[in-house]
Amino acid sequence: MPLLNTLARLEAVRAGRARPLATVRHRHLSERPLVLVPLTTAGEAGAPLGAMLGTDPDDPLVLVVPQPRDRTLRWTFLAGLAECVMPYVDGYADVVEPAERTETDPETGRKTKVEAELCVDAPQIIVPSRAGVEYVRLLGRSMRFRRTAEEDPENPYPAPARVPLLGRWFTHLAERSRVPGSSMLLSATELLGRHWATGQSNLEDQHLGSLLGWLAPPEGMSGAEWALHVELGRDGHGRLLFPPAGPATDPAFDNGLLAPAISRFDAARAAAAADGPGAEERVREAELAVRELVTSQMAHTWRQTWEAIALLRALPPGERTTDRWTRDRWSFTGHRDRVRAGEPPQPRRDDAVTAAQKLATRETEQVRLDAQEALDDPLVMAGRRLAGEAFAGEVTEVVMEWTEGKRPRPRPLVTVATEDRPQLADEGGGKVFRSLDGRQQAFAFVRHEEDGQLVLRVLDKMGAGREPVAGSVPEKGDRVCWTLFEHDARGGPKLPDPEHTPWTHGGPPAHLSAPTPPDSVTDEDLL
């Protein structure tokens, strides 16, 4: 943990309340995010127990699977999920604006601007915790290779319409969430953890309720006390007062309440199959009982997630979050186009080129995110200054100098007094940068003065004339912050198209020539 964050945690311990780690909001928040609280069945892969979702905090859609091991009921659940999520996603697909995209001409290899469509906004799904993001990925994987009856009439277990499509979108969102700074699929715990430090460890911060306890404890209680109560408080039966944010449930709840209710549902169904009198009614009652239980486990988390969003909305957005959201919009538009073009679902494993591309993107975006967060937020910049990667100081002297040659260019020398200790090589020559109206201006580090002041030479953004443009050179008395890192990230390496993957990397991937076979579905899937 960086020392500045450690200090914030120490302060939080003393204050008994969370302390800020950021002064602006570093992630885009949609006007209308979709909150999704999923629950899963312990020990089963991809057997959802229920979900609460929607864009209105007061009106969630509740889906519950009364017997998670029943394939038909699982399909009903996934169909219901698709019924709610797909209109939300599609709602963003058709509102577009013209934009330009850089493309490489395959013949000349030159980069050209191409007219393209860009969706004006994109969907944003917020889940309670990191585990929820992973669950979205898992659901995506479990759905995207399924076939509907329309696609494959022979399939004995066809998936409901739109379920495979939802699988592709969930996969795309989960994949995108691995890109640093992206905001299409976010978790409330990570969002809060980015902006506030609590007096507990990172591990304990994974618990949404306890994390919120540090941020907004009720009147008369310290954050530490309330967080502890939320984390550990149990009723007389040993069940947690505040259910975990999931997708895993409290084992005491599973054993004490859920399992008996599910057994009653099974028994009622067995009786209905034997055509007992009034059996239908009992099945409905039993189903309602399970539904109430599962809902009780999700309701807290649902409210907490919205509470987290409200807390984040109170922070002013960072200036450069819009830039990163535009990248998310491009990603959304790109996937929309792939789906519309009838491309097959994402393969089980990425081919060499795609994998390398994804890694390169994540690296570039990480560099970009680090730089942008520091530029947007003085508190983040303070961390970089402490690490010697940036420095702020007052300009004490400006001396005009020019390049030699026929058309001399301005190269003024700026002397800076700073208390920071940037990691600059003593012999000089290192480059430093400052933000000038949002653009990056480069300086060369020349030397240390004897009294510790730094001498920098301005290198660009001064116009084409002999005299620098007004305002482009710092003046005596200005307080300026320079960074040792560049303000924008360089793109990754140029890679061949997947169909030209060299044999050293496995050759062209198989999924380009033949469609990926769906998961084999057998009776065995049902325990």
Partner 1 sequence: MSSYPPAAPPQKTTLRQRLADLRGPAVPPRPLDARSLAALAANPGCGRRALLDGAGVDKGALAAALGSPAAFGQSQFAIVRGNSFEAKVKGDGGAELLRLAHTLLGGAAEPPGPDARVPDLTAAGPEGRAARTALALREATAAGAWTLLDHPMLALEVAGTPAYLEPDAVVVDPGGRWTVVEIKSFPMIDGAADSAKVGAAARQAAVYVLALERTAGKVPGAEVGHRVLLVCPKDFSNLPTAAPVDVRRERAVTLRQMERLTRVEELAAELPAGLSFDPARPAGELTEAVSAVGAAYAPECLAACELAFHCRERSRAAGDPATLGRSVRGELGGLTTVDAALAAAGSPDPAEGASEEGDDPTAAALRRAARLRAEALELAAARPPHPAPEGPACPC
Positions touching partner 1 (CB under 8 A) are 1, 3-4, 6-11, 13-14, 20, 23-24, 41-46, 68, 138, 141-142, 199-204, 224, 232, 234, 249, 251-252, 254-255, 259, 314-316, 348-349, 377-379, 381-383, 385-386, 519-522, 524-527
Q: Which CB sits closer to partner 1, 84 or 138?
A: 138
Minimum CB distance to partner 1, residue 249 (Å): 7
Minimum CB distance to partner 1, residue 392 (Å): 9
Beta bridge partners of 410: 402
Minimum CB distance to partner 1, residue 373 (Å): 13
Sign of the C-alpha dihedral computed for residues 472, 476, 482 and 484 taken in this order:
positive
Minimum CB distance to partner 1, residue 519 (Å): 6
Q: Which CB sits closer to partner 1, 141 or 327?
A: 141
Q: Which CB sits closer to partner 1, 20 or 334?
A: 20
- Tokens of residue 500, six digits: 């030209």
Minimum CB distance to partner 1, residue 158 (Å): 16
Minimum CB distance to partner 1, residue 296 (Å): 17
Minimum CB distance to partner 1, residue 2 (Å): 9
Minimum CB distance to partner 1, residue 214 (Å): 12
Minimum CB distance to partner 1, residue 410 (Å): 31
Secondary element (H or E) of residue 434: strand 431-436
List of residues 6+ apart from 103 with CB closer than 8 A: 111, 112, 113, 114
Distance, in Å, from the CA atom of 498 to the CA atom of 351, rounded to the nearest integer, reads 7
Neighbours of 405 (CB within 10 A): 7
Q: Residues 481, 381, 471, CA angle at the centre, nearest 5°?
A: 25
Q: Which CB sits closer to partner 1, 96 or 252?
A: 252
- HEC sequence for 150-185: CCCCCCCCCECCCHHHHHHHHHHHHHHCCCCCCCCE
CA distances from 302 to 4, 36, 49, 223, 258 (A): 32, 8, 15, 21, 20
Which stretches of 74-141 are assigned E, i.e. beta strand?
A: 96-104, 111-119, 125-127
SS3 for 62? Answer: strand
CA distances from 48 to 51, 65, 68, 142 (A): 8, 7, 6, 11
Q: Which CB sits closer to partner 1, 381 or 462?
A: 381
Sheet harboring 34-40: ordered strands across?
Answer: 61-64, 48-54, 34-40, 125-127, 185-187
CA distances from 499 to 72, 340, 354, 496 (A): 39, 21, 11, 8
Q: Is the Cβ–Cβ distance between 4 and 15 less than 8 Å?
A: no
Identify the residue whose tokens are 């017997």: 67
Minimum CB distance to partner 1, residue 11 (Å): 7
Secondary element (H or E) of residue 392: strand 390-399
Minimum CB distance to partner 1, residue 420 (Å): 8
Which of 207, 247, 246 lies closest to 228 in space, CA to CA?
207
Distance, in Å, from the CA atom of 152 to the CA atom of 130, rounded to the nearest integer, reads 35
Minimum CB distance to partner 1, residue 325 (Å): 18
Cα dihedral value 430, 436, 439, 440, nearest 10 = 0
Minimum CB distance to partner 1, residue 45 (Å): 4
Q: Which CB sits closer to partner 1, 328 or 376?
A: 376
- Tokens of residue 51, six digits: 């979900």
Which of 30, 44, 80 lies closest to 60 in space, CA to CA?
80
**DSSP structure string for 494-517:** ----GGG--GGGTSS-GGGTSPPP
